[in-house]
Amino acid sequence: MSADPTDAPSSDRPNDKTEYDSDSYLVKHCLQGDQQSFRQLYRRHQLKVRSILYQLCGASSLDDLVQEVFLRAWKGLPKLRQRSQFSTWLYRISWNVATDKRREFAQINSQQQTLTHTVPVSQEAPSIEYLHYQDIVQRGLAELSFEHRTVLVLHDLEEVPQKEVAQILGIPVGTVKSRLFHARAAMRHFLQKEGVHL
């Protein structure tokens, strides 16, 4: 989970390749003050962290939130006991930052207003139909409770295994399954209401 697919060991020196590219190896060097290793960790995980934060908090202050996550990670590295579980730990920090941000949102605006006012940015020119469905999904996510949305985003969108989701959120796997069931049901109901029949 922690390593990219491109980190797959080579046939000649599988152990060395895995060792040098692993998160735990980079974390070890970070702890010695090596910022290049931290840069590698950032490049490896920033897309997923960014995506999680965006799905949970919207586009507002997204860069600031990503920065907050990685700075918290850098400061907390000495306390990380299981270096091999760096990604799980990093996603947990992301979730904590998103939770903090959500509390701020609650004080200013409603969550729905914040999410529905964000403008999606696309690299290519998508079709009207695609944009329409994208807007529905975005509004559907905003309709969910924060707990349900978190589980749906982590598991269904970011493809984090249920066991790891449980570790990130600090809840039993059974609770993850239960939340996932209800989140999907709510999302399915919303889609049907919007005229999307799967």
Partner 1 sequence: MTKYPHDDDERLVEFLRQHRPSVPPAAPNLEQQILLGASSHMRHQGRRQLWFVPPTIVAGLLMTWGGYRILSPSSPSVDTASLETFLVNNWDGVVGDTSVAPQSDTAEADWLSLANSKD
- Comparison of 1 and 62: residue with beta carbon closer to partner 1: 62
- Comparison of 1 and 77: residue with beta carbon closer to partner 1: 77
d(CA 196, CA 54): 24
What 31-38 contacts at long range (C-beta under 8 Å, 24+ apart), as own/partner pairs, is: 31/77, 31/78, 38/74
Least distance from partner 1 to the Cβ atom of residue 5, Å: 17
Least distance from partner 1 to the Cβ atom of residue 35, Å: 6
- Comparison of 171 and 191: residue with beta carbon closer to partner 1: 191
Least distance from partner 1 to the Cβ atom of residue 113, Å: 16
Other C-beta atoms closer than 10 Å to the C-beta of 82 total 10
Least distance from partner 1 to the Cβ atom of residue 47, Å: 8
d(CA 91, CA 165): 9
What 164-168 contacts at long range (C-beta under 8 Å, 24+ apart), as own/partner pairs, is: 164/1, 164/88, 164/91, 167/85, 167/88, 167/92, 168/88, 168/91, 168/92, 168/95
Q: Quick one: CA torsion of 35, 37, 38, 39, rounded to 10 degrees? A: 90
- Comparison of 18 and 77: residue with beta carbon closer to partner 1: 77
What the block records as the tokens of 41 is 């960790």
> Which H/E stretch holds residue 111?
helix 111-116
Least distance from partner 1 to the Cβ atom of residue 178, Å: 14
- Comparison of 49 and 169: residue with beta carbon closer to partner 1: 49
Chain residues binding partner 1 by CB under 8 A are 33, 35, 38-39, 42-43, 46-47, 50-51, 54-55, 59, 62-63, 66-67, 70-71, 74-75, 118, 120-123, 130, 133-134, 136-138, 141, 152, 156-157, 184, 187-188, 191, 196, 198
Least distance from partner 1 to the Cβ atom of residue 13, Å: 30
- Comparison of 5 and 170: residue with beta carbon closer to partner 1: 5
